[in-house]
Amino acid sequence: MISAKRGEGGGDIFPICTFIYKYCESLQAKRRSKMGISDVVVNELKIDPAFVLSPEFRPKPVEVLKELDGIPVIDLAPLLANDEKGTQIIVEQIAKASEEWGFFQLINHGIPIKLLDDVEVEALKFFSLPLEEKRKIRRTLEHPLGYFDTELTQNVRDWKEVFDFVTRGKLEFAAADGTLNVQENKWPESPPFLKDVCEAWKEATLGVAYKILELLTLSLGLPATYFNPLFDKEDTNFMRLNYYPPCPAPDLVLGVSGHKDSGALTVLVQDEVGGLEVRRKDGEWIRVKPRRDALIINVGDLFQQVWSNDRYKSVEHRVVVNEHKERSSIPLFINPSNATNVFPIPELLDAQHPPKYRQYNWGDFLQALKTSHFKNMRVENIQISHLAINS
């Protein structure tokens, strides 16, 4: 690189040197900005730099991975058998798991595995379609449902493709100008059975999700149905088909960067490939071992932190991708109506437990969140922690 500092001589040649120096600098800068977080490896691997994480956020090498059986497994059989005593024990197990992990797996949940097999087969058919076909039902900023392959978590692109639909068939909310905005699910023409199998899986998992919501509510010492009116008619639940293609550089990217789910709770199934990691209390990322017979429940910011006023903590999680295998997962996000104003539950507050979060409107929050997953706002994604009093 030619370098010439002002005052270092150079006579007549100095302006030319300066010009060449500046020109080289500007070329370098252009290259840097085009490559984002660039390094040679990235270049050789031909990975779009928009996916590449800064080193501190990258996944751990496989050798130091700790796979975990250990997130609590809770057996729902006593609940399904209407065994009152057994159900009380489940409530206690849920409370403990929520305090210690924010994640647990449910077995004997009563949902036939065949329903899951069917969704996975149809979902794979959909994601195998050519990109132009999938993009016919592409999600836009104005219409947040359908296919999407450019989601940002904390402004870095996730190595995944998704298909989103709302469980009520349509989303209705008041637009900024006061008019009613109605958005319906976008289903692809092919594969023809995708809609039917997704609807069947949705019905089955919704039943379990609302049961768990009631047990969580009981675990806070509130009546089981305390929150039901917020979900009864106008919930904003949505289901997502996640597809993580094989990745040539799984050590540089994540399928989903570390995040917390914002809603009340999430019911998730993952296939046998695995890749979901949960951040344990000591900061260590722990891989959740796939279990075909289990539903993974994680409690979101809204329930865990705000309603419970930090009695429970919602937990960060992320997805590591695989060099050779594709992976799928299906989360169902349970969210209240747009009109819901969220604030710490007064019954849980007293002089020793003052409110830790400001009130916010769920519909406004959801709208801002969707925008920040869509556009690079050059700031962190909106998060509940931003609403903490004293934050």
Which residue in 176, 187, 171 sits closest to 134, CA to CA?
187
Q: Does 120 bind Ni ion (CB under 5 A)?
A: no
Residue 232 or 380: the one with the smaller Cβ distance to Ni ion is: 380
- Nearer to ligand OGA by Cβ, of 32 and 292: the residue is 292
Tell me which of 102, 263, 331, 336 binds ligand OGA, using CB under 6 A. Answer: 331
**Structural contact between residues 73 and 104, judged by C-beta atoms closer than 8 angstroms:** yes
**C-beta of 215: minimal distance to Ni ion in Å?**
21
Residue carrying the six token digits 């969210």: 335
For residue 39, give the nearest of 26, 22, 53 by alpha carbon: 53
Site for ligand OGA in 205-244 (CB under 6 A): 240, 242
Q: Give the count of residues interacting with ligand OGA (CB under 6 A).
A: 11
Between 102 and 344, whose beta carbon lies closer to ligand OGA?
A: 102
Distance CA 88, CA 108 (A): 16
Tell the residue number behind the tokens 């809770």, with chain if given. 74
Closest separation in Å from C-beta 317 to Ni ion: 6
Give me the least distance between CB of 83 and ligand OGA, in Å please: 31
Taking residues 164 to 193 in sequence order and writing x for each that binds ligand OGA by CB under 6 A, - otherwise, the string is ------------------------------
Q: Is the dihedral of CA 347, 351, 354, 359 positive or negative?
A: positive
In sequence order, the 6+-apart residues with CB closer than 8 A to the CB of 309 are 344, 345, 348, 349, 353, 355, 356, 357
By CB atoms closer than 10 A (0-12, 13-18, 19+), residue 354 is exposed
Q: Give whichever of 235 and 261 is closer to ligand OGA, judged by the CB atom.
A: 261
Closest residue by beta carbon to ligand OGA: 329
Between 262 and 309, whose beta carbon lies closer to ligand OGA?
262
Q: How far is the CB of 1 from ligand OGA (least distance, A)?
A: 45
> How many Cα atoms sit within 13 Å of 277 on the Cβ side?
24
Question: 251 vs 93, 211, 322, CA distance in Å?
Answer: 36, 38, 9
Hey, which residues between 215 and 274 contact Ni ion (CB under 5 A)? 261
- Specify the residue, 106 or 276, whose C-beta has the smaller distance to ligand OGA: 276
DSSP string computed for 59-117: PPPGGG--EES-S-EEE-HHHHTT-HHHHHHHHHHHHHHHHHTSEEEEES----HHHHH
Q: Which is nearer to Ni ion, 144 or 188 (CB)?
A: 144
Nearer to Ni ion, 188 or 372 (CB): 372
Residue 319 binds which entry of ligand OGA, Ni ion, none, with Cβ cut-offs from 5 to 8 Å by kind?
ligand OGA
Here's the x/- map for ligand OGA, 268-297, by CB under 6 A: it reads as: x-x-----x---------------------
CB of 297 to Ni ion, least distance (A): 12
Residue 317 or 356: the one with the smaller Cβ distance to ligand OGA is: 317
Residue pointed to by tokens 């919501």: 213
- Written in H, E and C, the secondary structure of 228-265 is HHHCCCCECCEEEEEEECCCCCCCCCCCEEEECCCCCE
242 binds, among Ni ion, ligand OGA, none (CB under 5 to 8 A by kind): ligand OGA
Q: Report the nearest approach of ligand OGA to the CB of residue 248 (Å).
A: 20
Cβ-based neighbours of 73, under 8 Å, separated by 6 or more = 104, 105, 106, 107, 291, 294
CB 266 within 8 A of CB 298: yes
DSSP label of 307? I
Q: Binding residues for ligand OGA, per CB under 6 A?
A: 240, 242, 256, 261, 268, 270, 276, 317, 319, 329, 331
Q: Binding residues for Ni ion, per CB under 5 A?
A: 261
